[in-house]
Amino acid sequence: MDKPGWPLAWLRAQLGYEPRDPALFRAALTHRSAAGPNNERLEFLGDAVLNLVVANHLYVAFPDASEGDLSRLRARVVSGEPLAEIAASLGLGEALQLGSGELKTGGFRRQSILADALEGVFGALYLDGGLTAAEAVIGRLLEPRIAALPAPHELKDAKTRLQEYLQSRGFALPRYEVERIEGEAHAQTFYVTCEVPAMRLAAQGRGSSRRRAEQGAAERILSDLDSSLDSHSD
């Protein structure tokens, strides 16, 4: 059975949108576990619309970013976790139509269901009001997250940033060496040393895996380099 005023009340209150075809939004807010038209096809369309709108925003907001940087920035905005957070903040879970099985297992709180439904709503917005309508809503919902994105170079991990720094100056790549491993097999701690012989720099990192320990050591080297550059500028 439909919820009272569903889905018009939710659309007006949360998106400030008056639909021409409410049936599109009924489908967008219906999970495949429930009877009737569901949001799977609209989710497919909404994903494409979302990526287009966000790509355009990022292209304008970060004029010097490379293609790879733009892709990494976009992933920060359109992946399942941030979309589910936005959906939850809009009370989308309460507006969803779910089958009895999903209702019993708390499907209205499940991240994947929320993210998919929000993409379904974006698809419905596009079909109902065109790209202008979809862009207006998507822009309003995502603008705070786009504005809070870090600088593109900060998205790269420490090992990549250190490697690029050294290569740009003609230095050899850093050397990583596991110094020791402590703890039981299920709870090990790795200690790794990163060395940059050409610059006479070395630092140690530790972590629950070799990769994390290497990242920590590289981050310490980068921090040392930043401190050295700051002292020279003074």
How do residues 123-180 score in pLDDT, each as one tens digit?
999 999 999 999 999 999 999 999 999 888 777 788 988 998 999 999 999 999 999 9
Domain that holds residue 53: 8-151
**By the 8 A CB rule, do 205 and 216 touch?**
yes
Q: Each residue of 32-55: pLDDT tens digit? A: 888 889 999 999 999 999 999 999
154 tagged catalytic? no
Are 65 and 120 part of one and the same domain?
yes
Are 24 and 129 part of one and the same domain?
yes
Selected catalytic residue, list 47, 128, 214, 219: 47
94 tagged catalytic? no
Task: Please tell me which residue, 34 or 90, carries the higher pLDDT value.
Answer: 90
Domain boundary among 151, 184, 200: 151
Domain boundary among 113, 131, 151: 151
Domain boundary among 119, 151, 183: 151
Are 134 and 37 part of one and the same domain?
yes
In sequence order, the 6+-apart residues with CB closer than 8 A to the CB of 210 are: 178, 190, 192
Are 66 and 145 part of one and the same domain?
yes
pLDDT at 217 over 70: yes
CATH number at residue 178: 3.30.160.20
Q: Give the pLDDT of residue 5.
A: 65
Count CB atoms within 10 A of the CB of residue 118.
27
Determine what percent of the chain is predicted with pLDDT higher than 70.
95
Q: Give the pLDDT of residue 16.
A: 92
116 inside domain:
yes
Task: Please tell me which residue, 102 or 219, carries the higher pLDDT value.
Answer: 219
Selected catalytic residue, list 116, 119, 135, 219: 119
pLDDT at 1 over 60: no
3 inside domain:
no
1 inside domain:
no
37 inside domain:
yes
Instruction: Tell me the average pLDDT across 91-107.
Output: 83
Determine what percent of the chain is predicted with pLDDT higher than 90.
66
CATH number at residue 26: 1.10.1520.10
